[in-house]
Amino acid sequence: MTLSMAAPTVTFGRRQPTPRPYAMAPSITRRNTYALKVRGNALCDCNLFDGDVIIIRRYQHDTQTETAVAEINQQTIALRQLSISRFGVELWPEDTLQPALFLHNRDIQVLGMVMGVKSETTFTEH
């Protein structure tokens, strides 16, 4: 399966919120979560190996601001910019010390939109 979504590059910034008649924490109006699986070892220099799963969470808030985070190797990374094109996915971390990461379509498999995540927690009975 190849990534065939064409979406504009989105830069996540901190815009000034619109004034509200009462103080309230901003709520999320839309959330998209994508799961990508790494294919092959072309990304091994980025510490991504065959079978690794990348979760990208994109949020649009009621103030019309957008934010996104990526979970790579169980490490959550805030994104400054996310670009999804017909060629692949490019992630620009908010931390400028981390390099941008381009995931070409041939190196990933889109698993789909995530509807829920099952936690591998051990339960004990009392």
Question: What is this structure's pTM?
Answer: 0.63
pLDDT given for residue 45 in this prediction: 84
42: Cα within 13 Å, side-chain hemisphere: 12
Q: How far apart are CA 104 and CA 94, in angstroms?
A: 21
Structure tokens at 69: 């985070």
pLDDT of residue 11: 54
pLDDT in tens, 2-46: 333 444 455 555 444 444 444 455 565 667 888 899 999 988 888
Q: What is residue 106's three-state secondary structure?
A: helix
φ/ψ of 44, rounded to 5, equals -65, -30
50 has a pLDDT exceeding 90: yes
- Residues 84-104 have a mean pLDDT of 90
3-state helix, strand, coil in the chain (%, to 5): 5, 45, 50
d(CA 95, CA 31) in angstroms, rounded, equals 22
Can you tell me the distance from the alpha carbon of 20 to that of 35, in angstroms, rounded to the nearest whole number?
Answer: 35
Q: Which two tokens stand for residue 2?
A: 């190849």
What pLDDT was estimated at residue 29?
Answer: 66
Mean pLDDT within 59-84: 85
Across the range 59-63, mean pLDDT stands at 77
Mean pLDDT of the chain: 75
Burial of 5 (0-12, 13-18, 19+ CB in 10 A): exposed
Contact status, residue 27 vs residue 61, Cβ threshold 8 Å: yes
